[in-house]
Structure formats: structure tokens, C-alpha cells
Chains A and B, each alone.
Chain A
């Protein structure tokens, strides 16, 4: 079956850099997306990788390697407000169907 695996929890301190990994067992997808979800709020889109390589958006960067079936989200200059859950996701080619990862809860400590 198709699946995207993420670490369940990551902890880091303010100002640090943290990497959240996403390894997948799926084929034929358009690209890898990342979403942020604060408790009590709506998940929001962060980043998208259509091609292999690094995409940078401010403090957030995302990376994709299709040959390694692997991607990651990199958060720099961590702030307390970055404490949230982060999900990777793909949309299977030729369908409207999205597959989400298991989610990583990031805790940022003062």
C-alpha cells in the first residue's frame, strides 16, 4: 500500500534548526507538500516540491529526492509559535486522492 512515515515527535529549542523527515512508499505522485497544524486550528499549507531539490520559503525549506523516496521539512530560527504538528502529503497521479503522512509533533522549548 501507499504510506508516508514521519517521526512522531521532535523537540528543539528556540533559535535552533530542526529537520522533519518524510519517507514514503508510493509511486506516481505529483509532488510532496507540507502542512502545519496548530492544535485547535485548521491545517495550513507550507511548501510544495514538484521536482527533486530544495525549495525555500523564508525560514522554512523543503527537500525532495524521488530516487531515495524521501523528503524533509527544514525549519530555521525556531520560534515558540512553530510548536505544532507537521504533515507531509502527496496526491497520487491521475486521481484527486491525497495521502497524508503520520504527522510529527514539534515542541519548541524556550
Chain B
């Protein structure tokens, strides 16, 4: 079974702090994704990566950056956390580029910015 793990289940940070969210997958997947989930808005794509050191902006990249130095690890960085970044953050991975690509998700990190 594919396993996607996220470094923290819950985080509380203060406005202006730099925040790192880590995601690791163990099945040699090419693609990794970061989403945020907010009530009524569903899952919105922040950034994704289709290869090591490659990244592309999703729908809401402002205020975020990412890093993928190794294939199995994809990090989301909040350079200066703000209260409007309080949300559930979900990491996902998928194998390759086939039409029928299943996304495998981690359990999520619930971030509260005070």
C-alpha cells in the first residue's frame, strides 16, 4: 500500500513565523501535490511537482513556496504565516502521467495561525 505521511497532524503558529510542512511518500511516485481544504471551497491546489526540483504553481500559490530536493519528499513553506492561512493542508502523490491517475493522500496537517 502507498503511504503518504505528513510531519504534523496539528500545528499552532504565530503571525509572521516561517512554517514548514513536510510530506513523504514511500512508493516512488513521480508527482506530489499540496492542497488546502476549507469549508465550502473543497480542495484547492497550492503547488505541485512532477519531478525532483521541478515545481509548478497551482491555483492559490500566493504566500507559499515549495521544495522538492528528493523524490520522496515535498515540503510546503509559509514564508511569513498569516491568519488567513489557517486551514487543513493535505499532501498527495500520484504515480505518473496516465489518464487514470489515482491520488494518494496523507492524513493532513491542521494549521492554526494566531
Residues on A facing B (Cβ under 8 Å): 4, 6, 8, 30-31, 33, 35, 40-45, 48, 50, 87, 89, 91, 96-103
Contacts and interface: CB of A to CB of B under 8 A. Distances in A.
Given A97-B48, A98-B33, A101-B42, A42 B107 contact: yes
A52 to B, nearest CB: 15
A87 B45 CA distance: 14
Interface string B82-114: 000000001010100101111111111000000
Contact of B99 (A4, A30, A89): A30
A96 B48 contact: yes
B41 interface: yes
A45 B102 contact: yes
A50 B100 contact: yes
A45 B56 CA distance: 24
Given A8-B40, A43-B90, A98 B107 contact: no
Nearest to A45: B102
A102 B39 CA distance: 8
Contacts of A30: 99-101
B50 A96 contact: yes
B105 A100 contact: no
A97 B41 CA distance: 17
B102 A96 contact: no
Contact of B100 (A35, A48, A89, A97): A48
9 contacts: A6-B42, A33-B102, A35-B105, A43-B92, A50-B100, A96-B56, A97-B58, A100-B45, A102-B40
A41 to B, nearest CB: 6
Contacts of A42: 4, 90, 104-108
A31 B103 CA distance: 13
Nearest to A1: B59
Interface in B36-56: 37, 40-45, 48, 50, 56
B45 A98 contact: yes
Contact of A50 (B35, B99, B102): B99
Interface string B70-92: 00000000000000000000101
